């Protein structure tokens, strides 16, 4: 994949591009991002995730299954409780990169509306 300012890499195959697109599709859902954001603070059970995100238990459970299926999250059982955590250590860094890039873009755009300019 060739990106300006990034080290050159060989182009991805069609299969690899499909896998990358699927990963981004999983992350393109606001509730899943809320769950990931909450889990960046540490492991949580479903009840805690429902309280932290404002979703319903059924909705949260569905999104957790999708994130587990994508190998972004993992779970462990302790007695009757199931705890979820981030399994892919690149996810927090990816979120940081995207948020930082968006912050810079929004700052530049806001400067166009600054009456001092």
* pLDDT tens string 7-40: 677 888 999 999 989 999 999 999 999 999 999 9
CATH number at residue 51: 1.10.10.10
Question: Would 99 be classed as within a structural domain?
Answer: no
**Inside any domain, residue 9:** no
By the 10 Å C-beta count (0-12 exposed, 13-18 middle, 19+ buried), 7 is classed as exposed
Predicted confidence (pLDDT) per residue in 58-96, tens digit: 999 999 999 999 999 999 999 999 999 999 999 989 888
Residue 111 forms part of a structural domain? no
Other C-beta atoms within 10 Å of 16: how many?
A: 11
Whole-prediction pTM: 0.78
How sure is the predictor about 101, in pLDDT bands with cuts at 50, 70 and 90? confident
Determine, yes or no, domain membership for 114. no
Give a yes or no: residue 93 inside a domain: no
What is the residue range of 28's domain? 14-88
Q: What is the pLDDT of residue 99?
A: 80
- Residue 113 inside a domain? The answer is no
Residue 96 within any structural domain of the chain: no
Polymer length of the chain: 117
Q: How many domains does the chain have?
A: 1
Let me know if residue 31 belongs to a domain: yes
């Amino acid at each position: 994949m060739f990106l300006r300012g990034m080290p050159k890499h060989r182009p991805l195959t069609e299969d690899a591009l499909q896998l990358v697109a699927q990963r981004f599709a999983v992350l393109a859902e606001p509730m899943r991002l809320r769950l990931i954001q909450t889990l960046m603070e540490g492991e949580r059970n479903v009840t805690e995730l429902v309280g932290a995100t404002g979703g319903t238990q059924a909705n949260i459970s569905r999104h957790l299954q999708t994130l587990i299926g994508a190998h972004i999250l993992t779970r462990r059982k302790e007695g009757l409780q199931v705890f979820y955590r981030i399994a892919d250590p690149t996810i927090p860094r990816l979120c940081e990169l995207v948020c930082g890039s968006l912050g810079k873009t929004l700052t530049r755009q806001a400067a166009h509306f600054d009456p001092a300019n």
